[in-house]
Amino acid sequence: MVPNSTSLTPSPVPTSSPTPTLSPAPVRYHEPPDEFVQDRITYVKRATITKKGFRLGSSHIWKYGLQYIRGSDKKEVYYCHECTAGKNKQELFVINGTSKVRNHLEQKHQIDPQSGIKKHSSTRKSVLDQQKSAAATNTFFWKDSMEKFKELLIRWIVYCHIAFFQLENRYFRELLFFLNPALLNHLPKAAKTIRSWVMDAFLSKKQRLREYLQRSRSRISISFDLWTSPNPYAILGVIAMWQAFYPYSIFHMERFLYGLRIPPRMEAYSIRMEYKK
């Protein structure tokens, strides 16, 4: 009788956790802006304002960042590509040597301080994934984005008759910060600042309107309308229509509504003088 044979299988070899490997391949980042705003301070890329022939140093830190000029004191600061790719707020330290930047790259982004090579691990997000996340959520605003936010905020306040002090409301601010935490560094805390924004926008629009009127290629037709606002104050509206000249010999009809204060005495002379202002 043949004895039952038993098959011996080798025991599984224990696997260790993935060890970081050094990746010498250069990493490509999104092109940084020439100018941006963080914490209400403007930063300008140094390469855009210096003379031709400007070059970064030979240190490996310049593979992962650039020099920017801080608008508040004109000091050079370090802009980190890895922070942008990983949707982290820029620390923007003043450049006094390279030791502080090396420590930042090692502690925050696992970049070897001697070789300048980034350590990768299978458990860590790839740079591509970090860049995709950064595209969806930015922790700071570009200057253009800040200007657009400011314009939309002013339009909402004016068209919806929002009181300036509403911007100080804690619950409203919590709502905005929930939608984008970066607004914490840009949204004014005082109603007085919001009011100055609105007045600056009004004066800018007023000056632009004067320029439009000066470029008129036809007589300006004026009509009037009187109504009561929610205040309730009486308001005399003035509507102007004229033909404006555009390139390629195209004429376009323009129409604007003016807000006009009511003078104490409703006389034709007073209204005419008010309109001339």
pLDDT tens per residue, range 96-124: 888 888 888 888 888 888 888 877 654 45
Model confidence band, residue 249 (pLDDT cutoffs 50, 70, 90): very low
Check residues 251 and 208 and name the one with the higher pLDDT: 208
What local confidence, expressed as pLDDT, does residue 134 receive? Answer: 44
Q: pTM of the prediction?
A: 0.41
Average pLDDT over residues 145-172: 88
Same domain, 113 and 37: yes
Same domain, 133 and 164: no
Model confidence band, residue 85 (pLDDT cutoffs 50, 70, 90): confident
> Which positions ≥6 away from 106 have C-beta within 8 Å?
112, 113
In a domain, 11, yes or no: no
Q: Is the predicted pLDDT of residue 18 greater than 90, yes or no? A: no
Average pLDDT over residues 49-63: 74
CA atoms 168, 170, 175, 178: torsion sign: positive
Q: What is the pLDDT of residues 215-226, one digit of tens each?
A: 777 787 877 777
Same domain, 78 and 120: yes
Same domain, 133 and 151: no
In a domain, 182, yes or no: yes
Q: What is the pLDDT of residues 226-243, one digit of tens each?
A: 766 676 776 677 777 777
Domain that holds residue 130: 22-139
In a domain, 160, yes or no: yes
Tokens of 57: 């140093």
Same domain, 169 and 72: no
Same domain, 118 and 189: no
Total domain count, the chain: 3
* Residue the block writes with tokens 């090396």: 102
In a domain, 93, yes or no: yes
Same domain, 42 and 82: yes
Q: How many CB atoms lie within 10 A of CB 90?
A: 19
In a domain, 71, yes or no: yes
Helices (H), 33-142: 46-49, 81-85, 99-109, 127-136
Same domain, 49 and 89: yes
